[in-house]
Every structure is written in structure tokens, then in C-alpha cells.
Structure 1
Amino acid sequence: MTLPLNPNRAYRRLEIDLVFKALKVSMHKEACIRGNGVALYEDLYTGETLRGGDPYDYDHIRSAEEIFSKYKKCLTDKEIAAVVNCRENVGVTLSSINKSKGKKRMEEWLSNSSNIDTYNIDLKVTLLSLKRADNGIEMGVKQFSKVIK
């Protein structure tokens, strides 16, 4: 028997962080293989190459809190953790970009044009990352729920 979901439940990161930690380990292993022993990534927003030792962060393109808030009425915390951490929604970016962006949606952060210049943002790369994340999230939600209102 499945308990009904509480649509008013508070945002918690426990399940999200457990899945995120495992995903980061997996991504790091893949990056080390690509870089012949040194982690090798492509920045989500600049398209530039990042290597192990560079100041980078793993980033949820669409924030965990945003996804939780949107789907808490129809998905469990465990299902939300899987959706938040779908491979399409997680990538690597410079720490300075991640810290500047904070919890803002990327579209909001980009509306300040000085961010584009200051952080050398490639809009084509960024928009592709956003589209890929949105598609991955949508596919993940469909896996768990037949009807999304």
C-alpha cells in the first residue's frame, strides 16, 4: 500500500544529496577516463574545457528546490531525487559562475547582461544545456508519473 503524498511537505535535500554524491563520483570517473587520468570536463555555460584542479563545481542546471516544488504533489522524495539528478540536469561549471548564479534560474541570471560578459558565457552552449536539462527532467517525471497537472 502506498501512502498518499503530502503536497505541503517541506523541502528536504537528504535523498537528493545521496543521489547527487553518487552521480558526482560517476561523473568524475568518466572525466578521468576522458582526460587520461586527469578529470576533463566541458563547462555547461561557457563551453570551455575544465580540468581537474580548476575551480569548478558540479551544478544542477535546474535547481533541486525548483524541481521539488514543482513535482512534490505527484512524486515521492526518492523519485524527485532521481529527476533532479538526471544526467541531463547535472554538469560542471566554474565555481565563480555557480556562486554568482546561486539559486536563480539561469534565464534570470542571464537577464543581467554583465554576467554574460564577466563570465564569458556562450549563449548557444548555455541554451543547449538548459534544453537538455528540461528534456531530461520531463522524461524522468514521465517515468514516474503518467499524469502531470
Structure 2
Amino acid sequence: MKVLRASVLIAFLGLVPAVYASSEAEIQAEMLLESMEMEALMHHSISQMMDLQLQQNPELLPYKDVMMQFFSTYMSWNSLKPEFIKMYSTEFTAAELREINKFYATDTGKKTIEKMPTLMNQGAQIGMARVQANMGELVAMIKAEEERLQMLAK
């Protein structure tokens, strides 16, 4: 019986460092990502990306399930979460992340989280419209650069 208790205690003590291995910044980063509802956001982004790809390339429609399986494996929240935690905990201190978490717990913070995907989508649309409106200039700039590079090659 003493051997069993000792084994359980040793096993438990072996797990304790793993529980406390995360830095305070990593813990705060994980809390932030949860408050930002990053898992749902990632799922929504993957769906939107897939829909956009299929609209632009209808010939991919027969491969939709395969593509979703791929994205679910490599772009899922579970597969990316550790890297996102590391990214946020590297860029922000634990104290900064606590402040951000406090903000996101407010009504304004919650509204920011709620509105952010819509705002990002609108921003992307504005950017795409600007590029399309000025595409002629980009094509002319590329053509001029191509001619310049050809002249240098001679």
C-alpha cells in the first residue's frame, strides 16, 4: 500500500511542472484568445476562404470535402493554438495581456470582438476595390519595370 501511495505521489509530482510550465504571458495569451473567440473565428475564416476559393475556381467544387479535411487538419484552431499563444506571449508582456483581457471583458471590448470580423472584411473589400480601380496603373508600372530590367540585361 505504501508503495502504491509513493508511486501515485511521484507520478503526481512529475505532472506538477507540466501544469506550471506555461509562463504568465502564455496563460494570459490563452485567456485573450479565448475571449476573442478565436476558435470560432478560425472556423468562420476557413469557411469563408473555402467559399471564396470555390467561387473563383468552380472546377475545385468536386474537391471541396478533401480541401475542408486538409484545412481542418492544418488550419484548425487545435493545430494552431499553441503557435498563437506563443505569438501573443512573445509580442506582449503578461501585464499588457492582462490589460487587454480587462478591456475585452468590458462591454466595449466585447463589442470590439463582435464587430472585428465585419470590419476586417469591409477593410479587405475596400483594399480590393482600390487595387481594382487602379489596376491599369499597376499593369503600366509592371510593364515599365519589365522593360527596364530587359534593358539592364542587354
> Same fold judged by TM-score > 0.5?
no
Larger Rg: 2
More strand by share: 1
More helix by share: 2
